[in-house]
Structure 1
Amino acid sequence: STKDYSISNEVRQKFPGISFAYTIIKGVKIKKLETELEKLKKLTVESKKSVTLAEVSEITSIRNYRTMLKTTGVDTGSRRPSPEALMRRIIQGKNLYNINTAVDAYNLAVLETNIGLGGFDLAKVSQPVVLRFSRSGEEMHLLGDEEKTKTKDGELVYADTDKLLTLDLNYRDIDATKITEKTKDVILFADGGPDISPDDVVSALKKGASYIQKFCGGQVGEIILVQ
């Protein structure tokens, strides 16, 4: 059952106060583009353009994600927390990605809340999901990569019962569970951290889910916080 989602003891010991939240949005209809969503993306991007790189690195959630990733041995100069990577794109004068109406919708919420979100095709996920440390040499085929990635020991990953789903919290996702225009049910995650309040995690998740519902329809299920 979905209630069996968890955070491993090792992760909780290393990062006391860490949390994540998730929800399932059933019966979505996903398209490549939606005019209203494009308008909203433009407005949000415009509102963020004046932010400086220095200000981005001072945002509480981003600082928290960076500290966590550094603790796991990640070079955060090249592997940045997803909200930071999105903000940097905007500051560099680029737009939000155009993937599809579900992914674009939750990326909008990431930009507005600075909380990392990750969405997957529920049909491709073998529940339940756990946030844990990787073991050395676990393999994952990350979205957009030709070659498989082998994990080092102790990287932060979300995993289902038979595979790794992400690397560095929700920074990188695997190809197999990606949301496409054929996806019917979406599972959406929000990343917490030791100094990120669970309320902020839950409200970012709600925002991401409500944007998906607004632009793709569907029914948003229970919002579940895991600590």
Structure 2
Amino acid sequence: MEITVDPKIKEIVPEFKIGIIHYNNITVSDSPQMLKGRLQLFQEQLFFDLEDKDLFDFPGLLEWKLVWKALGADSNRYRPAAEALYRRIKKQNYLTPVHSGVDMNNFLSLQYEIPLGLYDADLIEGEVEITVGTDSDQYEGINNRINTLSNILITKDRQGAFGSPYVDSNRTAVTEQTKNALHVFYLRPSMDRDTALEMLTAASNMFTGINGGHAELRIL
């Protein structure tokens, strides 16, 4: 699958980088108790941390808020997904298990303090571009609303936008029928490539440890 990043993004955020993992022959199912327990425990620990810390004491959340604003998104109305997860946990509104794909994606996003997107690769049509959305970029999101993605980063294929670090679309959502997936990591710009590769390797090992299959990774 060909994936490109709009050069205009790097004109605004010179160190911008994206991590990509392709998974093949995975099996998505009800999460094992180990993953459910780990996700719950991590959220409980974060809740206690957030009693003493501001959200933006977490470097990943702060860095993505700055990227968000640099690209022109309204950071008060629309928030990067990782920040939104942390805000939920601060209210003790913990995430409940969905399935082994979504639960692992949420765990990794919380752990690394960055937005992630997980998509069914067989539902993506043609080449993929990561760019900044306009008023014409819309989709029905997994939040069950029609989302307009003006000035928000998007991933788009031949049909149009299908993902973003704000909210993903229903069209390419991973389900228990998914066999091949695309995992997009909206990396912290300050992270060097070697560290990013180590992180992607660790994340892919965790993901395939739960969901099987094999992974190929790269940084754009």
For residues 75 and 145 of structure 1, what CA distance do their matches in structure 2 show? 21
For residues 211 and 127 of structure 1, what CA distance do their matches in structure 2 show? 28
Q: What TM-score do you get using the length of structure 2 for normalisation?
A: 0.88
For residues 117 and 205 of structure 1, what CA distance do their matches in structure 2 show? 12
Which letter does structure 2 place at the counterpart of 1:218?
G
The offset of 1:194, in angstroms, is 3.4
Which letter does structure 1 place at the counterpart of 2:77?
S
Percent identity reads: 18
Q: Do the aligned partners of residues 150 and 80 (structure 1) sit closer, same or farther apart at CA in structure 2, a change above 3 Å counting?
A: closer
Contact 1:117 1:205 in 2 (8 A): no
For residues 188 and 134 of structure 1, what CA distance do their matches in structure 2 show? 20
1:118-177 per-position Cα deviation (integer Å, ceiling 9, x unaligned): 11001001243221122332332222324x33343x33211123311223xx22111100
Show the counterpart of 1:187: 182
Show the counterpart of 2:147: 149
For residues 130 and 201 of structure 1, what CA distance do their matches in structure 2 show? 21
The offset of 1:202, in angstroms, is 3.4
Q: Do the aligned partners of residues 82 and 37 (structure 1) sit closer, same or farther apart at CA in structure 2, a change above 3 Å counting?
A: same
Gap runs ≥5 in structure 1: none
Q: Do the aligned partners of residues 150 and 85 (structure 1) sit closer, same or farther apart at CA in structure 2, a change above 3 Å counting?
A: closer
Q: What TM-score do you get using the length of structure 1 for normalisation?
A: 0.86
For residues 91 and 205 of structure 2, what CA distance do their matches in structure 1 show? 28
For residues 177 and 105 of structure 1, what CA distance do their matches in structure 2 show? 17
The offset of 1:193, in angstroms, is 4.4
Q: Where in structure 1 do 4 or more consecutive aligned residues deviate above 6 Å? A: none
Length, aligned pairs only: 219
Gap runs ≥5 in structure 2: none
Show the counterpart of 1:43: 41
Find 1:197's aligned residue among 158, 173, 192. Answer: 192
- Aligned Cα RMSD in Å? 2.1
